[in-house]
Amino acid sequence: MQKGARIPFVKMNGLGNAIIVADMRGRADKITAEAAIALARPEAIPFDQIMEVRDADGPGRDYDMRILNADGSLAQACGNGTRCVVVWLNGLDGRDAYAFLTAGGLVATALNRDRTVTVDMGVPRFSWRDIPLAEEFADTTGIELQIGPIEAPVLHTPSVANIGNPHAVFWVDRDVWSYELDRFGPLLENHPIFPERANITIARVVARDHIVIRTWERGAGLTLACGSAACATLACAVRKGLAERKAVITVPGGDLTVEWAANGHLLMSGPAEFEFAGELDPATGQFTIETAAVPA
């Protein structure tokens, strides 16, 4: 397929996390930031992430993946989007395991018998340099950051981690829906302490094996699901002694299961669904919808 020609895509979701899977195999060009922004418009195909599936440019993986946010910026990781890619590829070749290289590193996956997908999100990093933070913190289980009055902050002392991308997790003791995350999210995402911006999560520990979260996703905004945020939440909760190493993480779109395995890797499991298919121009974002529904 020559540069400039339209590419096939499928619109999918992982627990409501809106995903466009773009078939860029056999091509050298890339989806532009301008095309991503155009596609994200309410009248177009609103999405959280675009997953570009590309030919592997080296050994040790099946495909390369380039990930774009709705604002045209690049993301290092997207667990929910990766699950969507696995289900899409399985429909093409029938395989049940794939390895991908993303900007955040190598990602191994497996399609389970119940059609859920397990994604190895890798080893979490907690050093202030790795997240990264703009200043040194010896203890990243709770850094000095707050929203609201000094004497009575609304949110404060988040745990921070890097799960392929930066995350800040604020712990709360009441319903996560009682917080104006649409108001606080942009401020915290772009806070100077986060030189690469950050995903912002509000988390309430219901039990040692159940945590409820909401996330403002870097470059995408409020989302129904963020797989890396679910992983960051579990890892940070374990570090703080709040949870076991395997738990259900409830996001607005449903439940994910996250396990911090003995080898240090975070394993996230959940579903993925097809919505429709079409073609798009990677340079401009112009698109056509060809199939109103795609069977799983």
Query: Which of the residues are catalytic?
Result: 78, 226
The answer to whether 52 and 36 have CB atoms below 8 angstroms apart is no
Strands 166-171 and 254-260: unpaired
192, burial (CB in 10 Å: exposed 0-12, middle 13-18, buried 19+): exposed
Instruction: From 152, 245, 165, 243, select the one nearest 201 (Cα to Cα).
Output: 165
The answer to whether 206 and 174 have CB atoms below 8 angstroms apart is no
Taking the C-alpha atoms of residue 50 and residue 128, their distance in angstroms, rounded to an integer, is 28
> What SS3 state is found at 238?
helix
Question: Which element (helix H / strand E) includes 83?
Answer: helix 79-93
Specify the DSSP class assigned to residue 176: G
End-to-end CA distance of the chain: 26
The answer to whether 170 and 158 have CB atoms below 8 angstroms apart is yes
The answer to whether 233 and 210 have CB atoms below 8 angstroms apart is no
What b-and-e string marks burial along 257-277, b requiring 16 or more CB atoms within 10 Å of the CB?
A: bbbbeeeeebbbbbbbbbbeb
Strands 17-23 and 49-55: parallel
Taking the C-alpha atoms of residue 163 and residue 161, their distance in angstroms, rounded to an integer, is 6
Instruction: From 128, 248, 239, 139, select the one nearest 194 (Cα to Cα).
Output: 128
